[in-house]
């Protein structure tokens, strides 16, 4: 059975969408990477890497970060 993918799927990788949404939310709330890191129980350098899409972040850490910026995770992955 051939695998058929719908043509409407997002072409932007999820880690890029998440990283951009995280940076946008953080900056809108005038939080530094340090402040967000502390809030989410993660490291500052890790936040920067996630924002740039350099990390294959886990679902639990995505959830921690979403809550730390007061968003629902699904909203941060919508193209």
Query: Least distance in Å: CB of 37 to its own copies?
Result: 13
- In the bound state with its own copies, the residue whose beta carbon lies nearer, of 28 and 78, is 78
- In the bound state with its own copies, the residue whose beta carbon lies nearer, of 9 and 28, is 9
- Residue-by-residue DSSP string for 15-30: HHHHHHHHHHHHHHTT
- Interface mask (CB under 8 A) for its own copies, residues 44-63, using x and -? ------------xxxxx-xx
Candidates 11, 18, 32, 33; binder of its own copies (CB under 8 A) is: 18
Do 63 and 73 form a contact (C-beta atoms < 8 A)?
A: yes
The backbone torsions φ and ψ at residue 42, rounded to the nearest 5 degrees and listed phi first, read -125, 180
């Amino acid at each position: 059975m051939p695998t058929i993918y719908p043509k409407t799927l997002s072409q932007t990788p999820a880690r890029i969408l998440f990283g951009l949404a995280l940076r946008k939310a953080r900056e809108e709330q005038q939080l530094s990477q340090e402040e967000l890191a502390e809030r989410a129980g993660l490291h500052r350098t890790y936040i920067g890497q996630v924002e740039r899409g350099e990390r294959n972040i886990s679902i639990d850490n995505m959830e921690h970060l979403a809550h730390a910026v007061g968003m629902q995770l699904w909203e941060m992955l919508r193209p």
